Amino acid sequence: MSTGADTLAMQANARSLEREIAWFAQVLASRFDTYFAAEGAAGDGHKHAPPDLADDSSIYAETVRGAVQGGMSSDERLVLVLALLPHVRPQALDLLLTHNKLIERTFTEFGGLRGNGHNGHLPTCETAVFLLAGDDLRRRFEVMRLFESNHFFALMGMLRVVPPEGGEPALRAPLVLEMNYLNRFTNGQHHKPDFGAGFPAKLITTPLAWQDLVVAPEVMDEIEQIRAWLREGTQLLRRWGLEKMVKPGYRTLFYGPPGTGKTLTATLLGQSVGVDVYRIDLSMLVSKYIGETEKNLANVFDQAQNKNWILFFDEADALFGKRTEGSSSNDRHANQEIAYLLQRVEDFPGVVILATNLKSNLDEAFSRRFQSAVYFPLPDALQRERLWRQLFPDPAKLAPDVDLAALAEAHVLSGGALANVARYAAIRAARRQALLPPQQARIEADDLLRAIKKEFIKEGRTL
């Protein structure tokens, strides 16, 4: 639901972009006139001064001014508008669909692609180079620097240049504006990617707070280390002069029995420092076809590269398992896949959390590269009692025969199992007391004991 502030941001962006698009149209028309030597050609597009955004309060203008010291250059602004136009005013690029009558097709030098359903011009790097440099080789080489990995377009995750495959020219790469910036430049909102085939990861949240996390003191100490890194990791490296020797990312392993809080801890870590946590869906990531798993993983890491996300791989041994010494093509491919995963995880500048129930199933090469490995044991009696009381914070909902301290002492269960017990007991009590007034309904000790017995049977234990 949009708010008044969202509406104001949208209107401010629209005003800024109207001016930018009008300026872009002038530059594009001048490039065409110059390139085709029209009579009275305007010449260099730089003769058209870009709009003054000094007093413009829109999110777009603030980004242009603050992206780099001194603000974006006119070249950079033109490239940014070029990438934005297919989304906001695609007809502004129709001039680039002009056909060469000699060969009955569009001009090669205009670059561009055609989409599956979109009939307009989708710009490539070649389009940007033509707009800014025409046939001037020196200028073309200058413009090509805008697409390098050390340019702020890439470092800020603003523009994504998708390298072409099959040895095609490098400038054929599509020029893609990241969705986060598209949303900020239009409706003023931050974009969070949707779960799907193009992004096999899901944003995970929890209604719980940091103080609701129940773990052993030694586990909490390890978790606080990670939280400290999330808060000021880059600043810590600079403060101690370690930025040249220590990579900026942080990799940690959570291992231990199921239901002991690994996923919850990852979620609360992000929530406590204002960082999004994405759980990777391995069922959509892993493919039986050679190269597809690496491609899917690269897509996730590429989108997360500059987003300050936490990437959470649950049941990570399914993806990061041990390499084999077999000589078959399948074994070799599996080993290459794991090596690629290892490299991407190690190079990621954010936080990666791998979770598994069995640490021994992970490849040793991953273990050596973790900054920490945190073991989540089953809760002890005191921790179980605290978990029981969190599940049932209102003693009035429990019958007099329920003794949570005694239950915690007698039955060793994980936090996840205790949540299952509470759910089953609540359902059983509701069914039994359906005809009673709500204020008289109670969960009885027998409801909890029967639920505990069911959990034990699931785990292959006896009460």
CA distances in angstroms from 78 to 36, 58, 123, 179, 331, listed in the order given: 21, 18, 12, 18, 49
May I ask the CATH class of domain 201-375?
alpha beta
d(CA 277, CA 317): 20
pLDDT, tens digit, 9 for 90 and up, residues 144-159: 999 998 899 988 888 9
One DSSP character per residue, 198-250 reads TB-EEE---S--GGG----HHHHHHHHHHHHHHHHHHHHHHHTT-TTTS-S-E
Task: Please report, for the chain, the start and end positions of each structural domain, with discontinuous segments joined by +.
Answer: 4-186, 201-375, 381-458
Residue 163 binned pLDDT confidence (cut-offs 50, 70, 90): confident
- pLDDT computed for residue 379 by the predictor: 95
- pLDDT computed for residue 41 by the predictor: 42
- Using the predicted structure, report yes or no on whether residue 110 has a pLDDT greater than 50: yes
201-375 and 381-458: identical CATH topology: no
**CATH of region 381-458, choose from 1.10.8.60, 1.10.3720.10, 1.10.600.10, 3.30.565.10:** 1.10.8.60
- Using the predicted structure, report yes or no on whether residue 411 has a pLDDT greater than 70: yes
User: What value does the mean pLDDT take over residues 24-49?
Assistant: 75
Q: Which amino acid is at 155?
A: L
Q: Minimum mean pLDDT among 49-63, 257-271, 285-299: which range?
A: 285-299
Q: Which parts of 247-313 fold into alpha helices (H)? A: 262-273, 282-285, 292-304
Residue 93 binned pLDDT confidence (cut-offs 50, 70, 90): very high
pLDDT, tens digit, 9 for 90 and up, residues 182-208: 999 998 877 676 655 567 788 899 999
Q: Minimum mean pLDDT among 96-100, 251-255, 257-261, 284-288: which range?
A: 284-288
- Using the predicted structure, report yes or no on whether residue 95 has a pLDDT greater than 70: yes
- pLDDT computed for residue 291 by the predictor: 66
- pLDDT computed for residue 50 by the predictor: 93
User: Are 363 and 321 spatial neighbours (Cβ–Cβ below 8 Å)?
Assistant: yes
Residue 17 binned pLDDT confidence (cut-offs 50, 70, 90): very high
Residue 39 binned pLDDT confidence (cut-offs 50, 70, 90): very low
One DSSP character per residue, 339-398 reads HHHHHHHHH-SSEEEEEES-GGGB-HHHHHH-SEEEE-PPP-HHHHHHHHHHH---GGGB
